[in-house]
Amino acid sequence: MKQLTQAEVNQRLLRLRNLELLHTKDQQTKAALRKENKQLKTLVAELQQQNKTQAIQIAELQTMVFGKKRKPPTGHHIPELPKPEVPPRSKESYRRPSPPAHAITAEEPIPLPETCACGGSFKKITTHDRYKEDVPLPDLTEDYQAHLVTKYVIERGVCNSCGKTTAGKDLGGQTVTLGANVRLLICHLITVVGLSYAQVIQLCQGLYGLHITDGEIANVMSKQHSTWLPAYEQLKANVRASPVRHYDETPWKIVESDNTGYAWVMSAANSPNTVFHLATSRGTRHARDLHGTASGIHITDDYTAYRNLPGQQQLCWAHLYRCIRDLRYNDNLPKEQLPYVSQWYEKFANIYQDLRVYLDEPYDGITRQKQSNKLWQQLQQLANESLPEVGIPIKLKRLKAQLLRAGQNRLMTCLVADTACDNNRAERDLRPLVLKRKRSFGSKTEKGAKTLSTILSICTTTWKTDPNNYFKTLAAI
């Protein structure tokens, strides 16, 4: 073997040392690149998940703004419960019923002509009744009196003994005022019919020739609020005393509060009694103010404000079902997640179907408790299913967590207590107010919102209770 010189050995050692340094740096660079690559892969996965989530949210927002392109099918998932047999309609049911005798305001005889067209006379003469129902219109009704005006000639005198001035009627206030009937009509049009101030002004001018202003309407509403406030508090107490109540809320702008505000509703499940509470926010304190110390069962969605109210809460199953149904039929749902979401939707829909079928059956406490335990076990199994490799939408993860957090007491109370499993009653009560919001755009002041709360509650409840004697009942209040 060739003997290396010391210089060659030193040169090779130097080269080896350099290679070792380069190798160490290279290993460090590789480790940093691996770490960075791993972080980038994680970031890409998160961004992909965000994109999927945002795509679903975009589809939901498009539905909110532009409406649904196609309605999600509900036929075989939501059960068509057996309906009572309805007898076939008669021919008379398609015609207006004959008015009662006390409703007839005029009677006009229509005799036969003196002779027939051929010149002959008549025999076997009979009479037949026909009726015509109509309403008076200012320009088309003869001697139509658009509105009643009463002039009071009030005497006023001074006592000869004490010098005290006395009048037959209080002379304070305006010289011309609006009567009780038009005040009730204004309250009805603003609340039950849901008209704006401008529409009420047009209707009163067109039908009655009565000119009123925005300020007069506001004054009428304010005075009626003061008059009906005790009845409003009593109505609230009656609803709180109901064993089952429905709660919901919807946005209601209050201009004075930066166009923020919410309309709350509390409805008794066993009566038409309905209480509205128009407030400045969606805060928990407003839910507590409306609920008070009432016990019993309150049926709501899963909004946080309702969770810690006194009594037992029943979650609305319709909200839960719509959540998974809309996700299942979301056009932007990733294709790889569709099979699992569809399967999960089918199972949940079947549980909801069984629940509604059980509620339609005659009540038996022991049977209902067994049914409650059975459905809760199925829900737990569904919520605890292992996740697929392709993952699931965040919305479905939240729904699973929501079911487990709610527990059997908040989901199955409807079965054991034999109450409704949805909050449709409260949503229906809020629907007219939502339509009114589109016409009137809310309230100007917080005081106006409180005024509307009182009058809306009294008028809505009275109308639903007995529409035939509506104004008579309002006048008595």
Please write the tens of the pLDDT for every residue from 302-342.
Answer: 999 999 899 999 999 999 999 999 888 888 888 888 999 99
**What beta strand segments (E) does 269-414 contain?**
274-279, 297-300, 312-315
Please write the tens of the pLDDT for every residue from 123-148.
Answer: 888 888 888 887 777 777 777 777 77
Which amino acid, residue 105? T
Pairing of strands 312-315, 274-279: unpaired
Q: Quick check: 40 pLDDT over 80?
A: yes
Q: Average the pLDDT over 13-22 and give the result.
A: 87
Measured in Å, how far apart are the chain's first and last C-alpha atoms? 124
Determine the Cα–Cα distance for residues 111 and 124; give it in Å rounded to an integer.
14
SS3 320: helix
Query: Of 317, 300, 333, 337, whose CA–CA distance to 403 is shortest?
Result: 317
Question: Per-residue confidence at 387, pLDDT binned at 50, 70, 90?
Answer: confident
Proportion of the chain above pLDDT 70, given as a percent? 94
User: Which helix H or strand E contains 158, and what residues bound it?
Assistant: strand 156-158
Which amino acid, residue 365? G
Indicate the average pLDDT of the chain: 88
Question: Per-residue confidence at 62, pLDDT binned at 50, 70, 90?
Answer: low
Q: Average the pLDDT over 209-236 and give the result.
A: 94
Report pLDDT for 1: 67
Determine the Cα–Cα distance for residues 20 and 22; give it in Å rounded to an integer.
5
CA atoms within 13 A on the CB side of 244: 18
Report pLDDT for 118: 87
Neighbours of 318 (CB within 10 A): 17
171-180, 334-343, 403-412: segment of lowest average pLDDT: 171-180
Burial of 408 (0-12, 13-18, 19+ CB in 10 A): middle
Q: Tokens 């998974």, residue?
A: 324
Report pLDDT for 271: 94
Q: Average the pLDDT over 180-188 and give the result.
A: 92
Report yes or no on whether pTM surpasses 0.85.
no
SS3 362: coil
Q: Average the pLDDT over 430-458 and give the result.
A: 93
Please write the tens of the pLDDT for every residue from 30-39.
Answer: 989 999 898 8
Report pLDDT for 70: 59
Report pLDDT for 220: 94
Q: Quick check: 217 pLDDT over 60?
A: yes
Proportion of the chain above pLDDT 90, given as a percent? 52
Question: Per-residue confidence at 344, pLDDT binned at 50, 70, 90?
Answer: very high
Query: Of 287, 252, 265, whose CA–CA distance to 443 is shortest?
Result: 252
